[in-house]
Amino acid sequence: MSGFSLITDQDIIKGFCTDSSNYPGHAEALIRPKSTAEVSEILKEANSKKIPVTAIGNRSSLTGSAAAEGGWILDTSQMTKIIEINQGEKFALAEPGMMLSDFKKTILDEGLFYAPDPTSEKECFFGGSIATNASGSRTFKYGSTKKYVRALEVVLASGEILNIRRLNIEKNTFGYLPFQNMVDIFVGSEGTLGIITKAEVELLVKPENFFGGMAFFKTLSECLDFVVNVRKNLINQTPTITPRAVELFDHLGLDIIRPDSPFKIPANAKAAIFFEQEYTSDSNNGCEALLNNWLSFLESNKALVDDTIIAEQAKQQEELRRLRHKVPSSLFEEGGKYTKEGGGKISTDWSVPINRIHEIIDFAKKLKEEARIEDPVIYGHIGNGHPHYNFISKNAEQKKQILEVVHKTCKRVITLGGTIAAEHGIGKIKKDFMKYQYPESIIKSMKSLKQSLDPNNILAPGNIF
């Protein structure tokens, strides 16, 4: 037998079989490689015996993508080195197993900035965030993880170690567009095409300073108008405000954070926007000028200005982010109470172009009222047209009703030019939705890519297809 060791004690393995979706997985063994060579050796052996291998990061996935369907679980948590932080060229090269927040903190301590910021950054790995093309509140300004991945070391199902690099050129007509930047094939591939063992990511200069804030609105509709106007303002030649994050809390989201909010949430607020705005010492983009602009912008967009709070201190800014995280994490707990009865949390991940946001929210509301299901909590990355709807179903019957509504909404999302999975991926629980987004022929071509890179279908089987 080879040089790696398999943990086969089911008591231990059980602890690694599901993820934050509570999807029930199972496996015969757990392996914790420490190097690329070891990963390659494991895959060679697994491939020759046709044993499934599911890579896991910190299993914060919300789609069952990290819940193995048999075979071996390949835990990346022992590969935690940051190999290089290059100040001159502004990149970092690292192994996948470090907690994303720790990775970002190390970068920040070096005076640089790694932009991707999924809400789960304290509970997901650097590698996991690449394998899912994670995004977060600051995606509003900075884009998703994909934009920052410069190069990858990937181990294919055969054990072959591939080193690929994004081309740093503006023009290219050499080959099919989706293949021109090979890196993009693996970013967000949810463990199905190869195992990421190293990644080189682009870093930015640390933003000089920023303030956070929370603005309240009397209706959800006025709050959405505000968001649409923020985006309109950004297309101006000289936008007055340039937030890096624009996140929504609806009235139920506000109810979740109210009990331990360190600031007053006005009783008449039915929605709120959490925002962050960077500023510099230059007077045009200075704190005072921007606060003035925010005040006029909020006033002209019907925000409850006297209740709008500003977080200037680091601990206050951190507190705002904690409150933002509290919404999905407490709903996750709430949903967990009903899994035994066949219920649980159902969360949507669709997004639409911002100018269609009113339309889709009205549509979803109408569907919900017709189906007489309970109100979902609506929160999240509204600046990107990407609110999460979280429903809690108490039993299997309710779950079925809710899923019907979700399916109908997703179909409409497609007609409005949106996507069904903006950041959480497909995993095992969103596979049914693929047919809404892609023609059968395109799904087939995706399958044949998978088939050619992993002919024995050993990598994360059950994910995506």
Ligand X SMILES: Cc1cc2nc3c(=O)[nH]c(=O)nc-3n(C[C@H](O)[C@H](O)[C@H](O)COP(=O)(O)OP(=O)(O)OC[C@H]3O[C@@H](n4cnc5c(N)ncnc54)[C@H](O)[C@@H]3O)c2cc1C
Examine residue 348 and tell whether it contacts ligand X (CB under 6 A). Answer: no
* Positions 198 through 257 that interact with other proteins (CB under 8 A): 213
Nearer residue to other proteins within complex by CB, 97 or 385: 97
351 scored as a contact of ligand X (CB under 6 A)? no
Does 343 interact with ligand X (rule: CB under 6 A)? Answer: no
- Does the footprint of other proteins cover residue 312 (CB under 8 A)? yes
CA angle 90, 96, 101 (to 5 degrees): 70
CB of 292 to ligand X, least distance (A): 31
Whole-number Å distance between alpha carbons of 7 and 184: 33
196 binds ligand X (CB under 6 A): yes
Burial string for 301-311 (b: 16+ CB within 10 Å, else e) reads bebbeebbbbb
- Is residue 59 at the binding interface for ligand X, with CB under 6 A as the rule? yes
> Binding string to ligand X for residues 402 to 441, with x set by CB under 6 A, is what?
---------------------xx-----------------
- Nearest approach, Cβ of residue 433 and other proteins (Å): 31
Task: Name the amino acid, one letter, at 143.
Answer: G
77 lines the binding site for other proteins (CB under 8 A) = yes
Q: Does residue 440 touch other proteins according to CB under 8 A?
A: no
Phi and psi at 157, nearest 5°, equal -55, -30
Q: Please, is 242 exposed, middle or buried when counting C-beta atoms within 10 Å of its C-beta (0-12, 13-18, 19+)?
A: middle
Residue 313 interacts with other proteins (CB under 8 A)? yes
Q: Does 186 bind other proteins (CB under 8 A)?
A: no
Structure-token pair, residue 338: 């009903």
Task: Choose from other proteins, ligand X, none: what does 190 bind? Cβ within 5-8 Å by kind.
Answer: ligand X
Q: Which does 298 bind (CB under 5 to 8 A by kind): ligand X, other proteins, none?
A: other proteins
The tokens describing 340, both together, are 């035994």
Rank residues 98 and 269 by Cβ distance to ligand X and give the closer one. Answer: 98
Question: Which stretch in 127-135, 210-218, 227-235, 247-255 sits in contact with ligand X by CB under 6 A?
Answer: 127-135
Choose, by CB under 8 A, the member of 202, 307, 334, 375 that binds other proteins: 307
Among 127, 212, 213, 335, binds ligand X (CB under 6 A): 127
* Site for ligand X contains 40 (CB under 6 A): no
**Position 54 contacts ligand X (CB under 6 A):** yes
Rank residues 166 and 198 by Cβ distance to ligand X and give the closer one: 198
263 binds, among ligand X, other proteins, none (CB under 5 to 8 A by kind): other proteins
CB of 116: closest distance to ligand X in angstroms?
8
Q: Determine, following the binding rule CB under 8 A, whether residue 268 of this chain makes contact with other proteins.
A: no
Residue type, 187: V
Among other proteins, ligand X, none, what binds residue 371 when CB lies within 5 to 8 Å by partner kind?
none
| 96 is a site residue for ligand X (CB under 6 A) | yes
Please identify, among the stretches 311-319, 324-332, 340-348, 406-414, the one whose residues bind other proteins according to the rule CB under 8 A: 311-319
Q: Kindly identify the residues of this chain, within the stretch 274-293, that bind other proteins according to CB under 8 A.
A: 288, 291-292
SS (H, E, C) the chain: CCCCCCECCHHHHHCCCCCCCCCCCECCEEECCCCHHHHHHHHHHHHHHCCCEEEECCCCCCCCCCCCECCEEEEHHHCCCEEEEECCCCEEEECCCCEHHHHHHHHHHCCEECCCCCCCCCCCEHHHHHHCCCCCCCHHHHCCHHHHEEEEEEECCCCCEEEEECCCCCCCCCCCHHHHCCHHHHCCCCCCCCEEEEEEEECEECCCEEEEEEEEECCHHHHHHHHHHHHHHHHCCCCCCCEEEEEEEEHHHHHHHHHHCCCCCCCCCCEEEEEEEEECCCHHHCHHHHHHHHHHHHHHCCCCHHHCEEECCHHHHHHHHHHHHHHHHHHHHHHHCCCCCCCEEEECECECCHHHHHHHHHHHHHHHHHHCCCCCEEEEEHHHCEEEEEEEECCHHHHHHHHHHHHHHHHHHHHCCCECECCCCCCCCCHHHHHHHCCHHHHHHHHHHHHHHCCCCCECCCCCC
Stretch near other proteins under the rule CB under 8 A, chosen from 121-129, 236-244, 258-266, 427-435 = 258-266
Residue 264 as a binder of other proteins (CB under 8 A): the answer is yes
- Contact between 309 and other proteins by CB under 8 A: the answer reads yes
By CB under 8 A, name the binding residues for other proteins: 12, 15-16, 32, 77-78, 213, 262-264, 288, 291-292, 294-295, 298, 305-316
Binding-site ranges for ligand X (CB under 6 A)? 19-20, 54-62, 65-66, 76, 96, 118-120, 124-125, 127-129, 131-132, 134-136, 190-191, 195-196, 328-329, 423-424, 460, 463
